[in-house]
Structure 1
Amino acid sequence: MAVTLSSHEVSDLCLGKPALKSLPLSSKLIEALNALKTTGETYLSVWDCTHSCQKIQSFVETECKCVGKISMVDIVCFLCKQQQQQQQQHVEEDESNLSSFLQLPVSVIVSKGDSIIRHVEPHSSLLEAIDLINEGAQNLVIPIKNSREKPLQKLSLGNTTTLHNGQEFCWITQEDVVRFLLNLIGLFSPIPAYSIESLGLISTDLNAIAYHDPASSTIDMILDAHAKQTSVAVVDEDGILIGEISPFTLACCDEMVTAAITTLSAGDLMAYIDCGGPPDDIVRVVKARLKERKLEGMLDLLEDTSMPSSGTSSDEEFAISPTATLLSSNSRSGKYSRFGSYSTRMVRRAEAIVCHPRSSLVAVMVQALAHRVNYVWVLEEDYSLVGIVTFSDMLNVFREHLHSK
């Protein structure tokens, strides 16, 4: 089995992968923000280029290396933290300007030499890739093109494709590796048929918040879940899973969600980041609460949001009980409106991404891959949250099985 897997190289996983969209480490956050919007990418790779003089050949050689990645989640959480610090320091509203923080370099968010990004040669084996992921790597950067006739091009915002001496790069993820292993699943028999419970794959190391807790208290949880490629569970007082605040969904939002996180509850934030854009009713709640807290400066983040021409509820009514108003106006049923849309991955509407402790490993793999997530929530029959299963844990099981052989 190991011989069979070692015959596969990481380049096999690069077929059809697009070249990376990139930013220099010296870029400003505002440039990263605009690039994320214009490219439509969830992540942008961040590159550091150093120059070394070759005395014998008498020319300057540029060495570029991917040192990290950045997404809208990183920028939004950074702005939220700055807003919280300003409030704690009692900074006056007319002195508070979040836009000034966007002039900082992306290095304030992306740490140079981040271990979650690893450069790998195309001929490296699949087993080596799995080992790197088990060590904490999230993205493996691999050269995919080599055109020596192309001149040296400097990485810049005007050229978002990583091109160095005619070399382009792609990266493979945990999802890519798991998807590839699914095609070879018979090699691991009978392990894939075992339950995730019997394999010890259910982890209780997860982030969870109560439905009515302030969304601002989730910032550190969101960052932790973002780093672990998981999510933040939203539960009721009985531990029943209501939904989630997904970094993946937040990454599809824009900087306006900063105001929503600052003012809304966890449950209302789920509605705000729902697919199709934030509901006008929820936007009214955010605006009313920003005014109430004398944070009018953040209203600039919402100035382009459309508002309803008329309505039966006032800003004050929404500010008092936005959830009750939305439940009434949208004719939703249930204590917490559990029947949400796919983007918020509500339990009863998106059962494919939750599983039972007795679910088989291969079934959970298929569920996660089908919904493009790196994790699956584990629930009991009463919807109480038991734990979470992640791609990294699955890969650990496969690697341990190979070692035992």
Structure 2
Amino acid sequence: MAARLLAHEVADLCLGKPPLKSLCISATVRHALAALKSSDDTHISIWTCDHHQTAQSLIDNCRCVGKICMVDIICYLSKEDNLKSPSSALDSPVTVLLSRDPATVRLVNPSASLVEAIDLIIGGAQNLIVPINRRTKINSKRKQILRQELSFAPTTHAGGGEFCWLTQEDVIRFLLSSIGLFSPTGAYSVESLGIISPDILTVNFHSPASTALGAILTSLADQTSVAVVDDDGILIGEISPFTLAYCDETAAAAIATLSAGDLMSYIDCGGPPEDIIRVVEARLKERNLKGMLEEFTAYSSGIPLISSNSSSSSEDESSPSPTRMKSGRYNRSSSYSSRITRRAEAIVCYPWSSLVAVMIQAITHRVSYVWVIEKDCSVVGVVKFSDILEVFRSHLESMTN
């Protein structure tokens, strides 16, 4: 049984996964925003390619340099200068959104072992990029298409090949399906396994949400969240990148004007209450943030931010059209996909909770971490997928000895 598990390849975890969407590195933030809004994916991959090579060379030399999501755009627009002129900020190159750590995205051969994939994730990779082997030859028509200059519209892959994401959740879900092989480890408490990390990000409930901007970006990179606590350190809720990723770009105005507690209500399921929307508008006026106020008011009226002030007619033609966007996902009355089943309440466990229980909690709520609290709801720490994978990695190593 153990040998069978170790024999699995990365390709086995990718069965049925759809091809990832991508943008060329020469795209702008505006293109990225349009691509995210026209896609069911929460992330878009960014690729660098030499478009003047042959079709096969184009595929071989294209390289993924990172990934972006709506949280990247929201946090970018939340910066003071960008709040004053959000339209100009959207015309910046998409590279301003990319992580400086190239190791967060790693290309992996489909024949790589399960252990190799786990090692990469433990080493800091957030997503593994795996080629999808269709076992088909590129016909002459396809070669001609590949030689053409790429548009900024999201494609299966900037160079024409197909790839898929492999996430921490995919690996954890796969291991959970074989949890019996790890007995009795799955029944041990997270405290006894030593995987409760005390290094957590917090913000006071009454503090300005803008003070948590750096923490939000850090939690996005670490695939965790920002705990919202009261003056006694009691966990009230969280500002989660996993939830914020389903908001629209005008959440930047909320971060700039609301408290951390009000921001939780703003990003909660179903969209922000009307009274909070009015508060945001009033405070934008008070701070004389006319650029963001115009965009925020326009969006409330149903005018998408990305459709305004395009830099050129050619850009309009190559950019995804606003009319092709999915209307129910980011609008004011329904800011979330039907796939989201949780609200802004934090997902919690206790130090004595079992490893398998924590895994099930995280997978059920589509997050890669679980907060650990005491009986009085004070925060002890957080259990992350990457730490859980270290436990399984040690167990898998013992299997080979």
What's the TM-score, normalizing by structure 1? 0.82
**1:52 and 1:293, CA in 2 relative to 1: closer, same or farther beyond 3 A?**
closer
RMSD across aligned C-alpha pairs, in angstroms? 2.3
Q: Is 1:390 aligned to 2:375, yes or no?
A: no
> How many pairs does the alignment contain?
353
Shift of 1:3: 3.1
Shift of 1:244: 0.4
The correspondence for 1:245, drawn from 225, 239, 243, is 239
The correspondence for 2:89, drawn from 91, 101, 112, is 101
Deviations 1:220-268 (A, max 9, x none): 0000000011110000111111000011111111111111100100000
Shift of 1:306: 4.8
Shift of 1:124: 0.8
More displaced stretch, 239-248 vs 292-301: 292-301
**1:305 and 1:283, CA in 2 relative to 1: closer, same or farther beyond 3 A?**
farther
- Return the index of the structure with the highest Cα Rg: 1
> What letter corresponds to residue 110 of structure 2 in structure 1?
P
| Matches of 1:47 and 1:222, distance apart in 2 | 25
Match of 1:168 in 2: 162
Shift of 1:6: 2.5
> What letter corresponds to residue 270 of structure 1 in structure 2?
M
Match of 2:34 in 1: 34
> What letter corresponds to residue 31 of structure 1 in structure 2?
H
Match of 1:144 in 2: 132
Shift of 1:303: 1.6
> What letter corresponds to residue 112 of structure 2 in structure 1?
S
Deviations 1:71-120 (A, max 9, x none): 11111111212x1x579xxxxxxxx4221111111112215771111111
> For the Cα contact (< 8 Å) 2:199–2:381, is it kept in 1?
yes
Match of 1:79 in 2: 77
Deviations 1:30-79 (A, max 9, x none): 0001111111321111111136868xxx9964521211101111111112
Shift of 1:162: 1.3
The correspondence for 1:279, drawn from 273, 278, 281, is 273
> For the Cα contact (< 8 Å) 1:20–1:170, is it kept in 2?
yes
Match of 2:47 in 1: 47
Match of 1:337 in 2: none
Shift of 1:400: 1.6
User: Structure 2, unaligned stretches of length 5 or more?
Assistant: 302-339
Match of 2:345 in 1: 346
1:4-403 counterparts in 2 under 5 A? 4-50=4-50, 61-62=58-59, 63-81=61-79, 83=80, 96-111=84-99, 114-146=102-134, 147-150=136-139, 151-152=142-143, 153=146, 155-158=150-153, 160-162=155-157, 164=159, 167-304=161-298, 306=300, 343-346=342-345, 353-403=347-397
> For the Cα contact (< 8 Å) 2:362–2:368, is it kept in 1?
yes
| Matches of 1:361 and 1:79, distance apart in 2 | 38
Shift of 1:206: 1.1
More displaced stretch, 104-113 vs 189-198: 104-113
What's the TM-score, normalizing by structure 2? 0.83
> For the Cα contact (< 8 Å) 1:255–1:301, is it kept in 2?
no
Q: Partner of 1:373: helix, strand, or coil?
A: coil
User: Structure 1, unaligned stretches of length 5 or more?
Assistant: 88-95, 308-340, 348-352
**1:60 and 1:203, CA in 2 relative to 1: closer, same or farther beyond 3 A?**
closer
| Matches of 1:134 and 1:346, distance apart in 2 | 27
Shift of 1:218: 0.6
Q: Partner of 1:396: helix, strand, or coil?
A: helix
Q: Percent identity?
A: 57
| Matches of 1:224 and 1:163, distance apart in 2 | 28
Instruction: Return the structure number with greater strand share.
Output: 1
| Matches of 2:164 and 2:249, distance apart in 1 | 27
Q: Partner of 2:166: helix, strand, or coil?
A: strand
